[in-house]
Amino acid sequence: MRILVTGVGGQVGGALVPRLQKLGTVIPIDVDTLDFAKPDGLAEAVARLAPDLIVNPAAYTAVDKAEDEPDLARAVNATAPGIMARWAAARAVPLIHFSTDYVFSGAGERPWREDDEPAPLSTYGATKLAGDNAIRAAGGGGLVLRTSWVYAAQGKNFLRTIARLARERKELRIVADQIGAPTTAALLADAVAAIVGDGLDRLRARCAQAQGLAHITASGETSWHGFACAIVEGLRARGVALAVEKIVPIRTDEYPTPAQRPRNSRLDLTRLHQVFGLTPPTWQAALAPELDQLAGELTAAR
Ligand SMILES: NC(=O)c1ccc[n+]([C@@H]2O[C@H](COP(=O)([O-])OP(=O)(O)OC[C@H]3O[C@@H](n4cnc5c(N)ncnc54)[C@H](OP(=O)(O)O)[C@@H]3O)[C@@H](O)[C@H]2O)c1
């Protein structure tokens, strides 16, 4: 099986490659091989690579910058995935694509279900939703996996930002009124490997059963403030020297950003469990190995 994996320099793409290499021949794609910002010729390029399966975590993920670069964000997040999806659908090649909690408005308290009406607050969220719709409209065996708050021991993310700030500052002020589930790239890659590992026919059947859309995050929920506290406690427990003494919970309006984020980012995992048989670990359990890795890196660098 030839598995085309995009965004291999990113968090999820980087985690997918070693896992999918156990299941087939991975064709790793980065922005230099296929630039999604230039969708012309994309279908022909994919055809030359002749994949049996496409896994697409590549995306324009700079949420705030997207407010100033809507055309680029739309090309990468919607136009290019739509082209790949139409190519794949015409050949019955399954496509697994990643999307986001930012397609939702963040109203209410209950976890968002797959059939809830999206209403993105940001350009990033709108372009990701356009990608979801393009893939589902292609009508093939596509699967859009919506996730939230992705991080890894490596990469540019909240975990590494908090680890840096906690070493530099005595006080951190962190948003406490946005609720969601921090989700590791490893958890997502393990889930994709499990889904693909049952074979492409089973994958096609389950994608159809899921109507091409499923939510996937770690289990449980917290705020960014709760996540930051767990990171600091976890790093300290692993012997990392930190300057931070106080982590102050603040409201979203005390930390203004160009792009608006949903307050309620909870995603309902019922379909993931019922259709794919997956019950993700809690966010705390998934955090532990990332903290082990990061603490190892930070203590070795001392
Ligand atoms: N990060 C989150 O918190 C989060 C939350 C919910 C959903 N998601 C979704 O989960 C998926 C994976 O996210 P991630 O955290 O792994 O993102 P990431 O670390 O930012 O990686 C994105 C990848 O996309 C590539 N890319 C960007 N522009 C491209 C272009 N023009 N052509 C081809 N490739 C391009 C990047 O390449 P370069 O490294 O070369 O730029 C990078 O490898 C995305 O679909 C994202 O929307 C992420």
DSSP string, 125-163: HHHHHHHHHHHHHH-SSEEEEEE-SEE-SSSSSHHHHHH
Question: Within 6 Å (CB) of ligand 1, which residues are found?
Answer: 7, 9-13, 30-31, 34-37, 57-61, 76, 98, 100, 128, 147-150, 155, 185
Would the pLDDT of 62 be above 90? Answer: yes
Spacing, Cα 62 to ligand 1 middle (Å): 9
- Candidates 71, 95, 100; CA nearest to 84 is 95
Phi, psi for residue 207 in degrees, rounded to 5:
-60, -40
Whose alpha carbon is nearest atom 33 of ligand 1?
31
Mutate to test the pocket of ligand 1, among 8, 30, 31, 34 (most ligand atoms within 8 A of CB): 31
Q: Of 15-19, 35-39, 54-58, 286-290, where does mean pLDDT reach its minimum?
A: 35-39
CA–CA gap between residue 106 and residue 108 (Å, rounded): 7
**Residue 302: what pLDDT?**
67
Q: Which atom in ligand 1 lies closest to the alpha carbon of residue 8?
A: 43
Q: Quick check: 301 pLDDT over 80?
A: no
pLDDT band at 141 (very low <50, low <70, confident <90, very high): confident
CB atoms within 10 A of CB 68: 11
User: What are the tens digits of pLDDT across the range 6-38?
Assistant: 999 999 999 999 999 999 999 999 999 999 999
**From ligand 1's centre to the CA of 215, what distance in Å?**
18
The percent of residues above 90 in pLDDT, for the chain, comes to 96
pLDDT band per the 50, 70, 90 thresholds, residue 76? very high
Written as one letter, the residue type at 183 is: T
* Ligand 1 mutation pick, 33, 150, 178, max ligand atoms within 8 A of CB: 150
Could you tell me where the beta strands, DSSP code E, fall in 6-72?
A: 25-28, 53-56
Facing residues of 42 across strands?
Answer: none
Q: How many helices (H) and strands (E) does the chain have?
A: 11, 12
Whether residue 140 is predicted with pLDDT greater than 90 in this model: the reply is no
For ligand 1, pick from 19, 61, 283 the residue to mutate: most ligand atoms within 8 Å of CB: 61
For the chain, what is the mean pLDDT?
96
Eight-state DSSP code of residue 267? B
Residue 6's pLDDT is 97
Cβ neighbors of 23 (< 8 A, separation 6 or more) are: 1, 3, 193, 196, 197
Mean pLDDT of 178-206: 96
DSSP at 242: -
The DSSP string of 170-230 is SEEEEE-S-EE--EEHHHHHHHHHHHHHT-HHHHHHHHHHTTTEEE---BS-EEHHHHHHH
Look at 190 and 155; give whichever has higher pLDDT. Answer: 190
What is the residue with the minimal CA distance to atom 2 of ligand 1?
Answer: 150
**Which range, of 77-81, 103-107, 138-142, averages the lowest pLDDT?**
138-142
Nearest-angstrom CA–CA distance, 133 and 254: 34
Residue 194 predicted with pLDDT over 90: yes
- Whole-number Å distance, alpha carbon 14 to ligand 1 midpoint, is 10
29 CA to middle of ligand 1, Å?
Answer: 12
Catalytic residues: 124
Q: What is the pLDDT of residues 227-285, one digit of tens each?
A: 999 999 999 999 999 999 999 999 999 999 999 999 999 999 999 999 999 999 999 99
Centre of ligand 1 to C-alpha 83, Å, is: 18
Give the atom of ligand 1 at the shortest distance from the alpha carbon of 56. 45
